[in-house]
Amino acid sequence: MKISKSFKTYIHTLIVIFFIGNVKAVTNLNKNIIFYDNPKPIENLKFKDFNLQDVDLSENKGKIMILNFWATWCAPCKKEMPSLSRLAKDMPELKIFAINMEKPNQIKAKKFFDDLNIDNLDIYFDPKFNLAKKFKMRGLPTTILIDKNGNEFARIIGEIDFDTKDFKKIIRKNS
């Protein structure tokens, strides 16, 4: 079967357009970050730590907090998690909660972190999926940015690179 030269050119053009579009989507924070003009107050936000003990987010007011929702089966989560780990190392003043959105399975969640060489983030769980309902989440990964007063000031829907200067600038601006 012979493929025409014009068809090959068409296919190559589509591949280039697709590749360039994906590169821009990963580097452009504006495509998947939502800022609120009026930060949304967050109350009664509880979830579980690795040992399934209660964590009350209101006990962490006074710090910028990042809630990152992920799952072991989520390919974009796997791709962004190393940059979240590096952010934790670069900005230790942040309180980062990596919350697994599956039924609690410490072995599976720990293996996910071990496979990615993540050793500086703690694993949290939301066993009853209350946070997914509270934040009206539509997919993973989703990241919620919380200011020092305990208000959600921004939300990231989908994968981003937490290593970018633009993202760190957002965090510093809201510190």
Report the pLDDT averaged over residues 26-55. 86
pLDDT band at residue 3, thresholds of 50, 70 and 90?
low
Residue 44 is predicted with a pLDDT of 85
Is there a single domain that holds both residue 6 and residue 85?
Answer: no
Asked whether residue 129 falls in the same domain as residue 52, the answer is: yes
Residue numbers of the domain that contains 143 = 34-173
Q: Give the span between the Cα atoms of 86 and 90, in whole angstroms.
A: 6
pLDDT for the residue 18: 46
Rounded Cα–Cα distance for residues 165 and 90 (Å):
12
User: Does residue 86 sit in the same domain as residue 108?
Assistant: yes
Looking at the structure, do residues 52 and 89 belong to the same domain, yes or no?
Answer: yes
* CATH code, 87: 3.40.30.10
Predicted confidence at residue 15, as pLDDT, reads 52
Total domains, the chain: 2
Distances 53 to 37, 124, 137, 141 between C-alpha atoms, Å:
34, 10, 23, 23
Q: What is the pLDDT of residue 31?
A: 79
Q: Are residues 3 and 59 in the same domain?
A: no
Torsion from C-alpha of 24, 112, 69, 61, nearest 10 degrees: -110
Question: Which pLDDT belongs to residue 122?
Answer: 98
Note whether 121 and 136 are same-domain residues: yes
Residue 135 has pLDDT above 80, yes or no: yes
pLDDT 10s digits, 70-105 = 999 999 999 999 999 999 999 999 999 999 999 999
Same domain (yes/no): 9, 50: no
**Nearest one of 31, 17, 39 to 152, comparing CA atoms:** 39
pTM of the model: 0.82
Residues 65 and 122 in one domain: yes
